[in-house]
Amino acid sequence: MLLQNIPAIAVVLKDKDVLSIPKEELKGADLIELRVDMFEKTENISDIFETAKRKYNLPLLCTIRLPEEGGKREIKNRVEIYQAVIPFCNFFDIEIFSNEAPFLRQLSIKNNITLIGSYHNFINTPSMEQLEEVFDRGKTMGMDIIKIATMVNGKKDMETLLYFTLRHKLDRIIVLGMGQQGIPSRIINPVFGSMITYASLNEISAPGQIHLKDMFHIFKVMGLRG
């Protein structure tokens, strides 16, 4: 992996962000997640990735989220887009339970791209047993990193996600809680083993995201950045 810092801060950008936001505004970011399902245009997507790579000189993560796991719209030719942006990407994200996951696993291996197998639940936080089942499926599929993001509806959910993070602190995981009550997990879990936390710039891609400047400041105060 080409991440300068672990835990890393990923900033989420859209196509118009890449064209309009100067490099200076991404101070503190270690990784750029380009959310293709949030793009205004789906033509010439590889040009956006090439511009982002050249302009920001940061590792790129391509995510084309399914609507049922939080995607903003349906993108039918996901595999074709992943293939088109291979020259510019260091990371792919694919839902563990998606039909394309096995193909993306092989594609990423062939092209030396780190694959994040993800699971999103926008309703609640499942039990530890259910989370372990998701983790086991991701490991069986050979995912490089397993990401679990669930809705936090109370203190118990926060405790479940933190306990899960502690149990897997030696694995390559990303664990975060969504929603207003899940905000602390985006700060605390990285201290205990979650590899990446996601920050926003102009528009959040999931409920509870913290602005990049605030996240970077928090990490500095916590001693996670120099």
Q: How many domains does the chain have?
A: 1
pLDDT reported for residue 42: 85
In this structure, the dihedral spanned by the alpha carbons of residues 173, 178, 63 and 116, taken in order and rounded to 10 degrees, is 10
Q: What is the value of pTM for the model shown?
A: 0.96
Mean pLDDT of the chain: 96
At residue 116 the predicted structure's pLDDT band, cuts being 50, 70 and 90, is: very high
Is there a domain that residue 3 lies in? no
Active site residue 147: yes
Q: Residue 1 — pLDDT band, cuts 50, 70, 90?
A: low
Section 194-221 average pLDDT: 92
% of residues, the chain, pLDDT over 70:
100
Whether the predicted pLDDT of 199 surpasses 80: yes
Structural domain range at position 65: 8-221
Mean pLDDT, residues 75-95: 97
Pairing verdict, β 173-178 and 196-200:
unpaired
Q: What is the pLDDT of residue 204?
A: 78
- Domain membership of residue 2 (yes or no) is no
User: From the candidates 14, 53, 147, 168, which is the catalytic residue?
Assistant: 147
Domain assignment of residue 140, yes or no:
yes
Rounded Cα distance between 143 and 129, Å, is: 19
Give domain status of residue 1, yes or no: no
CA dihedral for 172, 59, 24, 18, sign (positive or negative):
negative
Average pLDDT, stretch 44-70? 97
Q: Which of the following is catalytic: 14, 27, 110, 120?
A: 120
211 included as an active-site residue: no
CATH code of residue 120: 3.20.20.70
